[in-house]
Chain A
Amino acid sequence: MQPGHFPANIVFILLFVAANGFFLFTVYKLYRIMRLGQAEDRFDRAWGRLQGVATFVLGQRRVINEPAGWGHFFIFWGFIIITIGSIETFGVGLYHGFAYWKFLGKGFTAFLYLLQDVFCAAVLIALCVALYRRFVVKPDRLRYDDQRAANLDASIIIGLILLLVVLLFGARAVEYLLAQGASTRYFPRTAFISVWLSTIFSGLNNETLHIWYSFFWWAHTLVILGFLVYIPFSKHLHLLGAIPNIFFRRFQPVGQLTKMDLEDETVETYGVSAIEQFTWKQLLDLYACTECGRCSENCPANLTGKPLSPKLTIHHLKEHLQQVGKLWLNQAGALEKLETFNPDGALSRTLIGDVCQHDELWSCTTCGNCMEHCPVFIEHIDKYVDMRRHLVLMESNFPTEVQNVMRNWETNSNPWGLGFATRGDWAKGLPVKTLAEDSQVEYLFYVGCAGSFDDRAKKISAAMVTLLNEAGVSFGILGVDEKCCGETARRIGNEYLFQSMATELVEIINDHGVKKIITTCPHGFNCLKNEYPQFGGNWEVYHHSEILANLMREGRLQPVSGMEKNLVFHDSCYLGRFNDIYEEPRALLKSISGLRFSEMDRSRNKAFCCGAGGGRMWMEETLGDEKINNARTDQALTLNPDIIGVCCPFCTTMLEDGLKDRDMEEKVKVYDIAELLVKTVLKEKG
């Protein structure tokens, strides 16, 4: 059965067509299952999308953020280079005389062979490291609820690639020997590893070498075809899912949730309570998941023992999708909606409750760490929020303590439920005008609920007023006319309440002809900046860290005194990950002389959430082995700070609570950047 000779070439063609046919058929089925999802437009910006593929697929930009990712980098590129070799291998299978050098030239072939040898070796090393990690190091992020099945899957994949490379080396070593003295063959010495390995077979006669060559060729080919058949059934489905998923990634701001159509009266259900109610892109996410676990490794809920691991959520959704999809393909036939499809009650598992647990959905702080670190751009938060939307809008099913908060928003437009008429009272006696008194100001200072009602956050608002006046900025507030932005209601899933709040606030702000807005709360900042354009609110929105950093640069604010203190800075999720503002607060703090600035391990885009986001501020935290805010406080305390610097009123509350829990509230203080700046820029009034 020498490859490329009759009848071996016929056998090869049959096997090749069968394997590829089976593979394509499986992929087609997966495609049809994905198309069960709802419509979503992800076809704009073709050029940007291609650039994304270049950066994040070919360049493996996010993969190599972790040391282990370099292993993947080499396996990925090895895979591509080996595939180029496989085309030659398959060519030989068709006709024994096929060879690249005959039409690519000897020089280029020599280069190609060198590359192949180097990458094959790199892949072998990377695979050994992968095995070592999985079976010896056992990092947390490779943990599954069914560890054996996951390890088996991984082992099969690693084993197959390992075998594939070893057999390839074997074939090449023998090929080198066969090429010696044969004018019809060419095997460049640049493939130095293959040449070196050929010593194993030296001394064998030509006939034996041909037998070895046939063995290696067939074994190698069968492994490739076997791999092809196995891919769609394993987590290596990501080979197929990841590239389109990166191509179709979101270009809207990460901090923008989808706007639900609440006007359409034909809609009968809201949110997502069945897998096919996700959009096709949300389903493609599931195919793209490699289960690398970077999401869970950075998830504050997961790290404090809550029943939420983004990796497992995606894994469970994928299993469920495949189960539903398989039943549907086998029994329902045509591509139609699945709403009432449940043959013989086979789909006994409900999406919410069985596949995803209630506590899982409510544990998410929407901090965005999962999405930030996902190498293939899976969008986790939207899925959690979509399911929350169903629970809130359709079933009125949410943690009981949330109901009061929603009523408070409805009645008094703030989560504390304090009388709406007292909203502007924090500014009594302060030198600040309302827009009703003077609308000819440059900036609206949108104070937000915390800044207006929470005693601690009111001090931050007051500090901001002092600083803006000191710098001579023309600004005003809405005072009693201000309303809640609704950010939290939206993240809890109450899109109806959010939309009514957003519509109202947009009208109020637009009525005053506002162009520029300053906020001290990153949640309001993100919401006004990234979500309000959905409701006709188009303004320049700035977080106070941006405004203050700018005033400092322009010399309109000048530190006149310093402070000899140790400061640890805590990033706000909605400022950093969602809006890419890392430098401004740092620049401000570093401008204060004497202040010794230090960073936690989990900082910047890896910053650990304070635990307040996604409505968690208003829910009891009873699950897990640690409260998120306490865990974050501990991380800060390891650096022995005098001050924890923050730039969010909710972070302030959470970390102060953490300090109280650790009996450290006397020794360590939490200050907003504005409060720290007030202490240093104010001239001594004589």
Chain B
Amino acid sequence: MANVTLNVNGEARTASVPPETTLLKLLRDNFNLTGAKLGCDVGDCGACTVIVDGKPVNACLMLAGQADGRDVLTIEGLATLDGLHPIQKAFEDNASLQCGFCGPGIILSAKALLDENPAPTAQQIRDALAGNLCRCTGYTKIIEAVQDAARALRGEPADKAA
């Protein structure tokens, strides 16, 4: 068994799991944080995206043991008691999520992008979200939501004309 201690959404969590356990399985089965989804289990779909030490990664391609001692942010850690994170708000306002299964991963990828680049171009957004597949929407509203969120995070008024 592998003993892992990691910081999840600002809180220290420990677990003892078999060595072959992925970070995704650890989060879902041991910590009951089911926001990260199992979509393809081979790192293609991005539904399991979480942010580890500031970088988005596929939780299905990281062993729990490799996450030992690291900082993990899941979708459950994004909203605060004050309200939704601006990205979540923008996704809701733009009706960007249909079935919603890809949503947590996409929102976290978008967060990682906006943390580094507060004013991304549409192409930069597409590049940052290339690892997150959505089968429902065709991505247009997702890109618009990220642009809206970027504006909100920069403190600019929303572009209502669009």
B is a partner of A: no
